[in-house]
Every structure is written in C-alpha cells, then in structure tokens.
C-alpha cells in the first residue's frame, strides 16, 4: 500500500522490505523510527537502510539489540526472545511446538546470560554475536529490490 503522504508507515515499510507485518517487522520499524512518531520520514528510512546495508558491525549490533529489546529497557528478556523467535518462525515452513521454542530460548538465554541475572544486556549480546555471527548477518541484505533495481540495470 502506498499513499504518497511523504512518510512510511509500518505496512509500507514491511512491504518495501518484503516482510509480513509481524513482531519482527514492528521492532525493525521501531528501530528506524528515531523520533518515535509512528511513521518514518525519508531520513529515518535511509539512515536505517544505511545501517543494514553499509553499517559497521557495532551499528548493526546496536540495531539488532534494539530489535530484540521490545520494551526498550536495555536488556533482552526470555519473553522478548520468545516473542521474536515465534514471529520469525511464522510464515515459514519450519514447524515448532511452543515447548521446542521455549527450550531453544532457554538454551540461548543460558548461553548468553553471562552474569546469570536472567536477561541479556548489550555486552552479553555483543559476545553472543561474536559466537553466532549469523545474528548480525541476517541484518545485512541486498537492497536493490527496495531501490527499484533487480541488479540487471533496469
């Protein structure tokens, strides 16, 4: 849906990135929405895309952390991790029971929560991404389809 109002809402954003509107796309949208007004202006959209396409490891780390930190309290809880895992699995051919997802989340939390306080902070998240670089690699992508070029010069 495109309405030429000069700003990008969640539906337009998700569509542009080829995503369904779900918890993951909402969180990514919130991470781009610097002024928290519920829409993206052109600058916010470009800055967010720039981080995803050209950002340093530290910038992409912060973006990824912000996506997982749903309540923006500076840490990732078990519930936040579960919510995003469930969201990422929806719409895929991967079928997992809630019990299996909870076990995976618990294992991830046990592995990443180095100080044992039950949540993952930014430093622990950084160490986790060093062990599992795919967490940041998933935030890098070829943006040609967003920019209107399929790579064939058209």
Over residues 136-147, the pLDDT tens digits come to 665 555 454 455
Specify the pLDDT at position 144. 46
Quote the CA–CA distance of 30 and 92 in Å, as a whole number. Answer: 23
117: closest CA among 73, 75, 85, 84?
75
Contact 40, 7 (CB under 8 A): yes
Both tokens assigned to 41: 């202006």
Asked if the model's pLDDT at residue 153 lies above 70, the reply is no
136: closest CA among 31, 27, 56, 61?
61
Quote the CA–CA distance of 51 and 65 in Å, as a whole number. Answer: 13
Contact 59, 51 (CB under 8 A): yes
Place of tokens 């809880």: 77
Over residues 25-35, the pLDDT tens digits come to 899 999 999 99
């Amino acid at each position: 849906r495109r309405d030429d109002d000069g700003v990008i809402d969640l539906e337009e954003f998700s569509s542009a990135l080829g995503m369904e509107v779900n918890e993951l796309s909402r969180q990514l949208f919130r991470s781009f929405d610097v002024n928290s007004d519920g829409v993206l202006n052109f600058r916010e959209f470009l800055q967010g895309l720039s981080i995803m396409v050209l950002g340093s490891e530290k910038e992409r780390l912060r973006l990824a952390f912000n996506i997982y930190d749903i309540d923006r309290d500076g840490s990732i809880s078990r519930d936040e991790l579960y919510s995003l895992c469930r969201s990422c699995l929806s719409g895929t051919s991967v079928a997992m029971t809630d019990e299996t997802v909870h076990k995976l989340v618990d294992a991830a939390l046990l592995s990443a929560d180095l100080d044992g306080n039950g949540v993952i902070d930014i430093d622990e998240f950084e160490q986790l991404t060093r062990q599992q670089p795919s967490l940041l690699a998933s935030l890098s992508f070829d943006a040609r389809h967003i920019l209107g070029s399929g790579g064939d010069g058209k």
